[in-house]
Chain A
Amino acid sequence: MSDFTLAIACHGERNFLLETHCELPARGITAICGPSGSGKTTLLDCIAGLRQPQAHSTIIFRNTTWNAQGTFVPPWQRGIGYVFSDARLFPHLSVRDNLHYAKTRQSALTVHSFDTVCEEFGVTPLLDMAPDTLSAGQRQRVAMARALLGGPGLLLLDEPFANLDSAATRHCQRVLKQLAVAQDLPMLYVSHNVEEVAQLADYLVFMRDGRIVDQGPLLELSGKLNTQLSRDEDAAAIVEAIVGQHDAAFALTELHLEGQPLQVKLLAAAPGTAYRVRIPARDVSISRTRAEDTSILNILPVEVAGIAAVDNARVMLQLRIGQQVILARITRKSAATLSLAIGDKVFAQIKSAALLSASAATL
């Protein structure tokens, strides 16, 4: 297994210091999340070679040393693709020439067909246009196509979907996911929004104040207690379910989560495919018995696997369902009243808002 080793110290503006030591997978899609100003883009710039970290920093990608004491591989020799948050199309070239710019300088690492990439990112109708006549979303798609046509061995994406509508985002995510698997093209994907990365990423890195605070496989990490993520107000577990029946009459889709039914807003996904659902901890409540006379659709039998204090008033529960876990944040008083203990079999009630809202549907 080839690895991706990072040991970076890099000073930024206003006393900002990026300091990371980590091993990342050199395969699949790794999401780098964190609030703005946490050093996500600085990290990408260091990996791209556009920013020189301190001399003792080390970056080793798949057995190639990019940074080390006395070694600095310049960005044009790293064989990377970089999708910048501000697209950075060349203003004096048409869309077609922007894409050809990448194609004529492509590294030998991977080769993508010009026409296929244009089709996949929907830029074929834009080819003869000038960059300054495009919408922000169109520019973003051209930037993604351009980065891929450079034939990179590693793709860096900085908020690539910031200007795309939800349909276009879903489509581009699908294309990227396919590339990551079929072409074995590793990607590092920066987003300030954990929710957005849920469908896409295999691995999650969470940054704060220039440091990596949590990292791990996405599904595993999102269900853990005692991480920075779980202490967040928006803490949520991500589970993978299989798409079952669509119920057009009620505009619902039934998913199977470890054999249990889970009703969500009507999806476009085909039955039998895997689908990730993000369940916010604040929307999950607990009962000892299965409530029959309730409006709540989704009630799952779970086992308490962990309890951790969030603050004086609240606790976070880790609830196991088959091989996966979900999180529930309840008051300490409720936990005491129910006298919850590890190993207890209880029922998790998931508020409809969690799975039926517009934001849940974009996942």
Chain B
Amino acid sequence: MITIVLASVTTVLLLLIGTPLAWWLAKRRTALSAAIEAVVALPLILPPTVLGFYLLLLFAPDTAVGRAWEALTGSQLAFSFSALVIGSVVYSLPFVVQPLQNAFQRVPAALLDASASLGATPADQFRSIVLPLSRRSFVTAASLGFAHTVGEFGVVLMIGGNIPGETQVISIALYDYVESLQFDQAHRMAGGLVVFSMLLLFYIYRSNGAAAWRVSR
């Protein structure tokens, strides 16, 4: 249950952060945007434990971030649900930003010019042209972000603390079952994850293949 809530909250945040970021990356070609792009992509190649290690250090009560969080919310950041959400957002960011960035780059600038000539402001152009033309990529991005958060292990292991009912997510619970040789529970959990992931990926690929939009020339 914690897992579903975590993945849902993370996905919503990812779309809110990822959409403007992807748009900016799709439109700008500067050294700064290339650097940001690299940072966003970092979780793809780094072992999750590396990421978790640094986040753990950052969230500790004696750091600036940890102190600021405690002053603001009155509770500790490390080993909290909020820490899990932040860690998951960082960890899954490339899975949301990259499909969106690719989709935005595929929207022909010529169509935005046409829309501007008809009186559409940039915000209007984004809403009326870019969003509808990249609708499917939003489904892909959200599904990948959600699924990837469900499947994470290393990051949550480092910063979550495995507190049942608060920060114990499914992948770590599975690990615990195996450690304590409770194979029946482990089987149920692992099998459930396989079926869930399979269904999600099937849904993504089917909706992408069917009627991807084409631009008439």
Contact = CB atoms under 8 A, between A and B. Distances in A.
Contact of B121 (A76, A90, A146, A147): A76
Interface-central residue, A48, A75, A82, A139, by most chain B CB under 10 Å: A75
B213 A92 contact: yes
A137 to B, nearest CB: 13
Interface in B89-148: 110-111, 113-121, 124, 128-129, 132-133
A86 interface: yes
Given A86-B217, A131-B216, A146 B118 contact: yes
A80 interface: yes
B31 interface: no
Contact of B133 (A82, A92, A156): A92
Interface string A46-83: 00111000000000000000000000001111011110
Interface string A73-116: 01111011110101111111000000001100111000000000
B213 A91 contact: yes
B214 A91 contact: yes
Contacts of A147: 117-118
A92 B132 contact: yes
A210 interface: no
B35 interface: no
B121 A84 contact: no
Contacts, number: 74
B215 interface: yes
A105 B216 contact: no
Contacts of A74: 116, 121
A132 interface: yes
B111 A76 contact: no
Interface string A145-158: 01100100000100
A101 B118 CA distance: 8
Interface string B190-217: 0000000000000000000000011111
A102 B124 CA distance: 12
Nearest to A143: B114
A102 B111 CA distance: 13
A217 B61 CA distance: 80
Given A92-B133, A101-B128, A107-B119, A75 B214 contact: no
Contacts of B214: 91, 132
A50 B115 contact: no
A90 B125 CA distance: 11
A156 B115 CA distance: 14
B139 to A, nearest CB: 15
A340 B20 CA distance: 75
Nearest to B108: A88
Nearest to A75: B116
A150 B119 contact: yes
Contacts of B111: 88, 90-91
B119 A82 contact: no
Contacts of A91: 111, 133, 213-216
B118 A86 contact: no
A75 B216 contact: no
Given A50-B117, A90-B114, A105-B118, 20 more contacts: A50-B116, A76-B117, A76-B120, A76-B121, A76-B124, A84-B113, A84-B114, A88-B113, A89-B216, A90-B129, A91-B111, A91-B133, A91-B216, A92-B133, A101-B118, A105-B124, A132-B214, A132-B216, A134-B216, A147-B117
8 contacts: A76-B116, A81-B118, A91-B214, A102-B118, A106-B119, A134-B216, A139-B216, A150-B118
Interface of B: 110-111, 113-121, 124, 128-129, 132-133, 213-217
